[in-house]
A and B are shown apart, each in its own frame.
Chain A
Amino acid sequence: MLDADFFRRWLAAAAAAVNREADRLTELDSAIGDADHGSNLQRGFAAVTAVMEKEAPQTPGAVLTLAGRQLISTVGGASGPLYGTLLRRTGKALGDDAEVTPAQLADALRAGVAAVAQLGGAKAGDKTMIDALDPAVEALGDSTASFTAAGEAAEQGALATVPMQARKGRASYLGERSIGHQDPGATSSALLIAALAEVAG
């Protein structure tokens, strides 16, 4: 069973990963965006860490809902609403249970990813977060071991964005010139799923 502490550790691991990889995310964003993805997510996850200490939410659902709201209020850009919606809707789907099963989390994440796809209007192959998140939630099953498979699927999904032409977000303005670069949003999405695998494993 996964309790509120597990979800707080997931967010802490995600914050650490974003800190570690911030320069790389910004570098990827510089090639096909506006060179701020790393610093924006750093600011957001630092705020998430701070609000977790301050409000100490007691259920898995409350942890993710609060984290999502905090990202919406601090990140800005497209990443703020999209990542905020991912965590908020996943948290809402988990309900008020004090502990949830891996299968419940898998279902909740599927709902969260569906909400992101709807909000951003992106489909698989558009060179966005969805290209890492879709394969990740497909790999999720009813065991924590499947989280490792999800982490790997997300990483493969992020790598697979390199030959794609962007059709959503700022990279889409580049047309064919977006081909040959890894998508920064797919890359940070893979970090988030890898952090989940890390705390589960």
Chain B
Amino acid sequence: MRMLINVPETVVADALRGMAAAHPELSVDVENRVIVRRDAPVAGKVGLVSGGGSGHEPLHGGFVGLGMLSAACPGEVFTSPVPDQMARAAVAVDSGEGVLFIVKNYTGDVLNFDMAAELAEDEGVRVAKVLVNDDVAVTDSLYTAGRRGTGATLFVEKIAGAAAEEGAPLERVEAIGRQVNESSRSFGVALSASTTPAKGSPTFDLPSGELELGIGIHGEPGRERRPMMTSREIADFTVNAVLEDLAPTGPVLALVNGMGATPLLELYGFNAEVHRVLAERGVPVARTLVGNYVTSLDMAGCSVTLCQVDEDLLRLWDAPVQTPGLRWGR
């Protein structure tokens, strides 16, 4: 497998040095692995800190900036960051108004963010947490680690970030984050496995002519393998899987997300099919975002995330955002 790297051991540090070079508006601590808004702490504003394994870019580092995250903590590839990182980030962004941790529901992320919250509270930072668990592919939550956090993480970070930017207090920002998560569901499909730099070969074996349904974003295989389907068939399957669990009574935000190696040409074609299914099911779409936002290294494939929104959430979604990965409205 050919990769644009030096050695596997330095991929995360190398990427952080590159982010620092590209984005002077961010303060990138390469050694301690924390990316912070340069103007943090912003007086009177709640801080938002997220993080997770690397390999999902632009999540999370690419979403640091005005209207979204205050700081992000990248771990090793597909490995949650360590508590020291999030505690350091929390202290750096706390203006005295408290800090919200946005945590994707994986065993490692939950454990490390819990430990980080204790460390930050020891430093006098008030910490609240929102757990993101939107992946409907994990069905049997009694016998698993529970639903994974995937595409809805972007919605939570954007909408809670906008609320914080408006000056909402910690309890309100947390409540909005929870509301967004509870209103969101996702389902993902892989057309090829991803290759981690450390392993150098695909993390699972997917024969040509087949696809994997219900994948996560860490190269783990999905729940079911089927013969290859068309874009139309994949849209029917994924949107219906989401709508089995989310019965929207109003308009939705739609994230049609690429897993990293699927071209935008294919993603836009897929988006047309997603809109067709939603129209057939009578679900109005308020806004659509198409692109590679919550990725899994070089995996080919896509996921669909729907989030039911009221007027307030839609207004916060439309609010200005200025980050490397998402920017509009100002």
| A interface, CB within 8 angstroms of B | 26, 30, 32-36, 39-40, 43, 72-82, 119-120, 165, 167-170, 172-175, 177
User: Are the C-beta atoms of B79 and A170 separated by less than 8 Å?
Assistant: no
A78 contact set on B, CB distance < 8 A: 80, 106-108, 111
Query: Given A169-B107, A170-B220, are A36 and B77 neighbors across the interface (CB < 8 Å)?
Result: yes
Q: How far does the alpha carbon of A168 sit from the alpha carbon of B203 in the complex, in Å?
A: 20
Q: How far does the alpha carbon of A19 sit from the alpha carbon of B258 in the complex, in Å?
A: 36
* Partner pick for B112 among A76, A173, A177, CB 8 A cutoff: A76
Check: B226 CB closer than 8 A to any chain A CB: no
Which residues of B, 175-205, contact A by the 8 Å Cβ criterion? Answer: 196, 198-199, 203-204
Interface residues of A, dominant DSSP: helix
User: Are the C-beta atoms of A170 and B75 separated by less than 8 Å?
Assistant: no
> Shortest CB–CB separation between residue A125 and chain B, in angstroms?
12
List 8 contacting pairs A-B, 8 Å CB cutoff, sorted by A.
A33-B220, A35-B199, A35-B219, A36-B76, A36-B79, A73-B83, A173-B148, A174-B220
User: Are the C-beta atoms of A173 and B144 separated by less than 8 Å?
Assistant: yes
Query: Given A33-B220, A34-B203, are A173 and B138 neighbors across the interface (CB < 8 Å)?
Result: yes
Which single residue of chain B is at the shortest CB-CB distance from A38?
B198
Q: How far does the alpha carbon of A51 sit from the alpha carbon of B44 in the complex, in Å?
A: 40
* Partner pick for A167 among B137, B143, B204, CB 8 A cutoff: B143
Query: Given A72-B115, A120-B107, are A172 and B145 neighbors across the interface (CB < 8 Å)?
Result: yes
Chain B contact-residue range equals 35 or more
Query: Given A72-B82, A77-B108, A169-B145, are A26 and B198 neighbors across the interface (CB < 8 Å)?
Result: yes
Query: Given A170-B218, A174-B220, are A34 and B107 neighbors across the interface (CB < 8 Å)?
Result: no
Given contacts A80-B82, A170-B216, 17 further A-B contacts (CB under 8 A): A30-B203, A32-B220, A33-B220, A34-B203, A36-B196, A76-B75, A76-B80, A77-B75, A77-B80, A81-B108, A81-B111, A168-B145, A170-B106, A170-B218, A173-B145, A174-B223, A175-B144
Query: Given A81-B112, A82-B111, A170-B107, are A26 and B199 neighbors across the interface (CB < 8 Å)?
Result: yes
User: Are the C-beta atoms of B81 and A76 separated by less than 8 Å?
Assistant: yes
User: Are the C-beta atoms of A34 and B145 separated by less than 8 Å?
Assistant: no
User: Are the C-beta atoms of B140 and A30 separated by less than 8 Å?
Assistant: no
Check: B221 CB closer than 8 A to any chain A CB: yes
Most buried by A among B77, B80, B199, B223: B199
User: Are the C-beta atoms of A75 and B218 separated by less than 8 Å?
Assistant: no
Q: How far does the alpha carbon of A80 sit from the alpha carbon of B114 in the complex, in Å?
A: 13
B108 contact set on A, CB distance < 8 A: 76-81
Q: How far does the alpha carbon of A28 sit from the alpha carbon of B140 in the complex, in Å?
A: 24
Check: B84 CB closer than 8 A to any chain A CB: yes
* Partner pick for B196 among A34, A80, A120, A173, CB 8 A cutoff: A34
**Chain A proximity mask over B141-169: 1 for CB below 8 Å, otherwise 0:** 00111001000000000000000000000
Which single residue of chain A is at the shortest CB-CB distance from B84?
A73
Q: How far does the alpha carbon of A199 sit from the alpha carbon of B84 in the complex, in Å?
A: 32
User: Are the C-beta atoms of B203 and A173 separated by less than 8 Å?
Assistant: no
A172 contact set on B, CB distance < 8 A: 143-145
**Chain A proximity mask over B208-224: 1 for CB below 8 Å, otherwise 0:** 00000000101111010
